[in-house]
Amino acid sequence: MKIKNSSFVISAVSKTQYPEDQLPEFAFAGRSNVGKSSLINMLLGRKGLAKTSSTPGKTQLVNFYDIDGIFRFVDLPGYGFAKVSKTQKAGWGKIIETYLHNRETLLEVFQLVDIRHTPSAEDIQMYNWIQTAGFNGIVIATKADKLNKNQIQKQLSVIRKTLGMEKDAVILPISSQTRDGKYEFWDMINELFEANEIEIFMERQDGSNKLLNNE
């Protein structure tokens, strides 16, 4: 399918507010400003769907987006604000863990990290939480347009090493600005649908392929 309609569903504070219907979901986790909302907008071809201006208050919300009534993307609260209190940090952790451990329809979690930086202690913690909750965790290295090809390869291995990724664990460089990596992302979504025996197939959405060798 091609995406026809995508829409915002709800910003949930507690799990009683999560959508009740049983659509498959993919969640996006990562530090604030890493590019979660921009990625969701780029993937859906919608400029302003997910709000990209970041305020600390917004970090406490789990944002649900519906794609043609068939599946959902979930924008998880960002972490890593320098100025938040300990209480807020604990609140963030609880919200993420509540979501990860109570969502039967969650197929996979994408962990976003900025391709230019070595993952932080919180990134490592997040990656571990994802696995503790029973998911593989697919790492998405954002803002790849900021580096050249050699730098990208170098940073991918730094990120792999710092997060302690298994050899066969997936890391995908992507740019919401140039849309490099978009095809590969949707190919991966199709693989996840197939692995979960869900009969949805996403046609290649517009994008480009420059980052990988299989041009």
Q: From the list 24, 28, 30, 37, which residue makes contact with Mg ion (rule: CB under 5 A)?
A: 37
Return phi, psi of residue 62, to 5°.
Answer: -100, 115
Tell me whether residue 36 or residue 72 sits nearer to Mg ion (CB atom): 36
- Nearest approach in angstroms of CB 57 to ligand GTP is 10
The partner in contact with residue 80, picked from ligand GTP, Mg ion, none with C-beta cut-offs of 5 to 8 angstroms by kind, is: none
Tell me whether residue 126 or residue 152 sits nearer to Mg ion (CB atom): 126
In this structure, are residues 209 and 185 in contact, taking their beta carbons and an 8 Å threshold?
no
- The footprint of ligand GTP (CB under 6 A) covers 30, 32-38, 52, 54, 78, 142-143, 145-146, 175-177
Task: Report the C-alpha gap between 14 and 74 in whole angstroms.
Answer: 14
Task: Report the C-alpha gap between 32 and 20 in whole angstroms.
Answer: 27
- Nearest approach in angstroms of CB 152 to ligand GTP is 12
The partner in contact with residue 111, picked from Mg ion, ligand GTP, none with C-beta cut-offs of 5 to 8 angstroms by kind, is: none
- Nearest approach in angstroms of CB 62 to Mg ion is 12
DSSP letter (8 states) at residue 189: H
Instruction: Report CA-CA distances (Å) from 4 to 26, 44, 74, 187, 198.
Output: 18, 9, 18, 18, 19
Q: Which residues of 14-28 are buried (b: 16+ CB within 10 A; e: fewer)?
A: eeeebeeeeebbbbb
In this structure, are residues 72 and 19 in contact, taking their beta carbons and an 8 Å threshold?
yes
DSSP letter (8 states) at residue 116: T
How is residue 206 written in tokens?
Answer: 């517009």
The partner in contact with residue 34, picked from Mg ion, ligand GTP, none with C-beta cut-offs of 5 to 8 angstroms by kind, is: ligand GTP
Residue nearest to ligand GTP (CB): 78
H or E segment and range at residue 62: strand 62-67
Tell me whether residue 47 or residue 161 sits nearer to ligand GTP (CB atom): 47
Q: Work out whether 38 is an interface residue with Mg ion (CB under 5 A).
A: no
The partner in contact with residue 190, picked from Mg ion, ligand GTP, none with C-beta cut-offs of 5 to 8 angstroms by kind, is: none
For Mg ion, the binding residues (CB under 5 A) are 36-37
